[in-house]
Amino acid sequence: MSPTLSALFILLVMVAAYVAAQLIKLSTELSIFVAAVAGALAGGHWLPVRQIAEGAITYLDICLIFLTATLFMNLVREAGGVAFAVRSILKRFHHQKVVLFLLLVILLLIPGALTGAGSVTVLITGSLVAIVLKYMGLPETKVAAIIFLIAGLSAAAPPVSLWAMMTAAGINMPYVGFFLPLLIPCLLASLAVIFILGWKAKPVDLEKALKEIPEPPGKMNWWRIALPFLVFLLLILAGRLFPFSFPVLGLPLIFALAALTAFLASPVKLNIWKVSIETTQQLLPLIGTLTCVGILVQIMTLTGVRGLIAVSVVTLPVAMVIASLFITLPVSEAVLMWGAAPVLGVPLVLLFNTRGFNPVIALAGMSLIWPLGDALPPTAIIGRLTMNVVGVKEPYSKFLKQCLIPGLIIVALGMLMIIFSKQLGFLAVF
Amino acid sequence: MNPTVNWRKWLFGLIFLAVLIPAGLSFYRSRHLAEPVVLGPGVTGVKKLSNYFPGIKGSINDAKIYILGEDSGRGSVLILGGSHPEEPAGRLAAWIIIENAKMKAGRILVIPTANPSASTSTRPGGAYPPDYSIKTPWGEQKFRQGDRWSNPLDQWPDPEVYIHYPSKQQLAYMDVRNQNRTWPGRHDGLMTEKTCYAMTQLIRQEKIDLVIDLHEAELQYPVISTIVVHPKGQDLAALASMTISAEEGFDIGVEYSPEALRGLSHREIGDWTEAIPLLMETPEPFLDATRGKTDQNLLLTGRDEFVRKAGKHGLLFEKLDEKGWPVDLRVGRHLSSIIVILKTWSELRPDRLIEAEEIPRYSEVVGKTTGFYLKDPARAPANRLFFE
């Protein structure tokens, strides 16, 4: 059998195993694992334990960042920091829709930008922002669409953008120069989302809204909220300003130290053990997915399936590839979640690079589009999570319908970034 | 506890152990695989990097230095294999020089595993084989596959962004473990930086004239089949390149080390020591992202249908046909290039003569294979047998 036929056969076996696992209601991460093992068996490798173990730790650093960053944000929430911030913003700006929307967007962007996970945004600030938006007279499906879309953009926003990080790592490209190419479009798209979907919002009924938002501890203030973020920022800056005298801490430890500060600055005594356990349980499906995606990528590389996909993509006409991104990126995200980045993102960036596009800007553009797939079946984890958090009782299709127009704007923005990546190269400065 | 949940926990626990134990044993064996080096007739001594910088003592990267010839005031060359151990032609070429070369004048210092830590791990997501075997007349010799970066077991965590010393240029965070991004090194830096610092001290203390850093590159990378040289070695590299193309049976280009790209051997060694650094790249399809089945066969034959397809679409910077890029070709290219560079250097600088013999050329390695030149450790006297 030729290498192409062999890899194609293994790919088909993997797809069949994935579909079968989904049909018997296995979780996405286990379905990915089953597909990987089936691929190894079909490739004649039996159970390649070394390769499975090595693949499982591919994203170990990212998992640690994920865990510590989410613990940090959860401690800020448990201390009453998030409720305090939402209430303060609401009290001060409830008559000024534009300022209120702008501040709500920032509140929604921070957790996902720091952790790389849209689900963290939905859980940390999404539920409270949803209360505000509902009291502005917006229907629940619209509120859910706003939270979901901005949560997705927050995951793509810097400093931690898992799609960009995983793709860059797959081609030995430094994760440097992504800050502005990710920040500017994420911010613009988030504002577009909230102003388009919240166009008909009325002034907030302050009294009713405040009744529903939890009361923060009496001693909570802006300093207590800002302190852990300042510690985070200072540690990052210290590493950059004094690189040869300041010890290398690594992002997981920096987030852990910020979490410790949040714990110490809390006006109420926090049960850090309980919050840690809850954080781990909250992240288990996502960490499971990252672990199993690592295994899948390893087995695809071992068997030649990754090479088949890569060479098939890089040899396509580039115009056809770009034109199909609005479908391929969200669908690959829906099936593989972050696995889409190493499996599809790597060959796409290679293609763009060889065709003279700016790989950093092109990858940033792709990172905007990927999160939209989190609303699509079979996974739709973040879409469904948002529905639950907001308390939407209407059918899922109505929520999807609300996402359509702003979703298309995000896709257009991402595709324009890819097409004009060369001209936008000046953004890739740090 | 719910009995079903309990049962499932046990099942998953057992599956985890079933993967963990054999995988752990495999990783342990790879990390501790002893690669024999039989000292050839030219070797006069073996030192370690800690002889030049005690700060590296006790670290896995206290690499061995095999010294051929005597210090008689003539020229000296340092040959580095395994700066990136996943590029095997460099290590194998270094091995062949240690086990075969004789010196007529000057000295050759060889570090076959310049980043020992990187030789002990394989790349997560890369599906590398743990090791590869070279066929010899007396059996097979096994080598560790290795990776591009130092093993995270030896140097972790990575910084949020790697800032190169002393230029302060920002580089990718993982490149703080890349030995070809940490030159000239830092005495109080991380392990990989300390390793480069130790080698910089070696270059200064031993008054090295030339440093030849042996590498391999993916075919989708533009710097391939070439000698990258510091501007102060322009004449040497240009003359050597012409001679190689005319006499050795293959073409090799010359590129000058860009000033803006920091941390690389061909830039920093030239800037911070008296030596002229030259970095050589041979083609290794195993490293290409479009490669097919990833195994030892691909590593050693360099034959791959998918990379060839990419070539047919004009995506490669080096030709690739059905013959591939066998390891013998790649090792032979490195060895012939070294022979010609030393000859050219000796013609340009007769006062710093470096003359070696018994280093096989390209045509000989291609004809007789790499394994032909590896010596049988079973027949070596104990005092002439070392392990990497």
What torsion, rounded to 10 degrees, do the Cα atoms A375, A380, A383, A388 define?
Answer: 160
CA distance A221 to A219: 6
Coil, strand or helix at B278: strand
Which chain A residue has its CA at the smallest distance from B313's CA?
A: A315
What are the helix (H) ranges across A242-371? Answer: 251-265, 272-303, 305-314, 318-336, 340, 346-354, 359-369
In percent, the amount of chain B with pLDDT more than 90 equals 87
Q: Give me the phi and psi of B104, to 5 degrees please.
A: -100, -35
Structure tokens at A406: 């702003």
Q: Which residues 106-165 of B are in CB contact (within 8 Å) with A?
A: 122, 124-127, 130, 148, 156-161, 163, 165
Nearest to A250 among B122, B159, B291 (CB): B159
Tell me the mean pLDDT in the region B271-299: 96
CA distance B88 to A71: 43
Q: Which of B126, B104, B101 is nearest to B42 (CA)?
A: B101
How many CB pairs below 8 A link A and B? 155
B189 touches chain A (CB under 8 A): yes
Nearest to A3 among B158, B173, B305 (CB): B305
Check whether residue B46 and residue B12 sit in a common domain.
Answer: no
| Predicted pLDDT of residue A178 | 93
> What sign does the dihedral B365-B370-B372-B376 (CA atoms) show?
positive
Nearest to A55 among B124, B186, B310 (CB): B124
Report whether the peptide linkage leading into residue B157 is cis, meaning its omega lies within 30 degrees of zero. Answer: yes
Nearest to B19 among A52, A174, A240 (CB): A52
> What sign does the dihedral B75-B76-B79-B80 (CA atoms) show?
negative
Q: Tell me the shortest Cα–Cα distance from A395 to chain B, in angstroms.
A: 32
- Split at pLDDT 50, 70, 90, the class of B360 is very high
Contact, A375 vs A406, CB < 8 A?
A: no
Q: At what angle do helices A140-156 and A359-369 cross, to 10 degrees?
A: 160
Nearest to B161 among A57, A172, A176 (CB): A176
Q: Tell me the shortest Cα–Cα distance from A8 to chain B, in angstroms.
A: 11
CA distance B222 to B245: 19
Residues in chain A: 430
Count of Cβ atoms closer than 10 Å to residue A238 Cβ: 15
Check whether residue B19 and residue B96 sit in a common domain.
Answer: no
Check whether residue B303 and residue B358 sit in a common domain.
Answer: yes
CA distance A416 to A364: 11
- Residues with Cβ < 8 Å from A245, sequence gap 6 or more? none
Check whether residue B7 and residue B63 sit in a common domain.
Answer: no
Check whether residue B19 and residue B62 sit in a common domain.
Answer: no
B168 touches chain A (CB under 8 A): yes
Q: Which of A310-314, B2-6, B239-243, B370-374 has the lowest mean pLDDT?
A: B2-6
Structure tokens at B57: 């003592």
Coil, strand or helix at B142: strand
What torsion, rounded to 10 degrees, do the Cα atoms B116, B121, B126, B131 define?
Answer: 80
Check whether residue B79 and residue B110 sit in a common domain.
Answer: yes
Q: Which of A64, A82, A83 is nearest to A279 (CA)?
A: A64
Taking only the tens place, the pLDDT of each residue in A7-26 is 999 999 999 999 999 999 99
Contact, A379 vs A371, CB < 8 A?
A: no
Strands B131-136 and B139-144: antiparallel
- Split at pLDDT 50, 70, 90, the class of B79 is very high
Count of Cβ atoms closer than 10 Å to residue B260 Cβ: 7
Q: Is B127 left (phi over 0), alpha (psi -120 to 50) or beta?
A: left
What torsion, rounded to 10 degrees, do the Cα atoms A318, A320, A322, A328 define?
Answer: -120
Structure pTM?
A: 0.88
Nearest to B292 among A3, A47, A51 (CB): A3
The end-to-end CA distance of chain A, in Å, is: 47
- Split at pLDDT 50, 70, 90, the class of B139 is very high
Q: Tell me the shortest Cα–Cα distance from A50 to chain B, in angstroms.
A: 4
Q: Which residues 304-323 of B are in CB contact (within 8 Å) with A?
A: 304-307, 309-310, 313, 315
ipTM of the complex: 0.95
- Split at pLDDT 50, 70, 90, the class of A160 is confident
With beta carbons under 8 A apart, name residues in chain B contacting A7. Answer: 292-293
Tell me the mean pLDDT in the region A248-252: 91
| Predicted pLDDT of residue B1 | 58
Contact, B151 vs B121, CB < 8 A?
A: yes
Q: Is the pLDDT of residue A236 over 70?
A: yes
Contact, A370 vs A340, CB < 8 A?
A: yes
| Predicted pLDDT of residue A212 | 87
With beta carbons under 8 A apart, name residues in chain B contacting A159. Answer: 160
Domain that holds residue B219: 36-387
Tell me the mean pLDDT in the region A236-255: 92
CA distance A409 to B41: 72
H/E run at residue B212: strand B210-217
CA distance A122 to A118: 6
Taking only the tens place, the pLDDT of each residue in B372-388 is 999 999 999 999 999 99
Q: Is A281 left (phi over 0), alpha (psi -120 to 50) or beta?
A: alpha
Residue B361: give its domain's CATH number: 3.40.630.10
DSSP state of A428: T
Tell me how far CA of residue B64 lies from CA of B4, B70, B90, B378, in angstroms.
56, 17, 16, 21
**Overall number of domains in chain B:** 2
Tell if the CB–CB gap between A303 and B293 is shorter than 8 Å.
yes
- Split at pLDDT 50, 70, 90, the class of A151 is very high
Query: pLDDT higher for B153 or A285?
Result: B153
Report whether the peptide linkage leading into residue A378 is cis, meaning its omega lies within 30 degrees of zero. Answer: yes
CA distance A9 to A226: 55
Tell if the CB–CB gap between B23 and A50 is shorter than 8 Å.
yes
DSSP state of B149: B
| Predicted pLDDT of residue B289 | 83
Which chain A residue has its CA at the smallest distance from B220's CA?
A: A354
Q: Which of B35, B30, B22 is nearest to B91 (CA)?
A: B35
Q: Is the pLDDT of residue B3 over 80?
A: no
Tell me the mean pLDDT in the region A85-105: 91
- Split at pLDDT 50, 70, 90, the class of A73 is confident
Q: Which of A192, A164, A145 is nearest to A372 (CA)?
A: A145
Q: Is the pLDDT of residue A379 over 70?
A: no
Q: Is the pLDDT of residue B68 over 90?
A: yes
Q: Which of B32, B64, B199, B56 is nearest to B130 (CA)?
A: B32
Report whether the peptide linkage leading into residue B129 is cis, meaning its omega lies within 30 degrees of zero. Answer: no
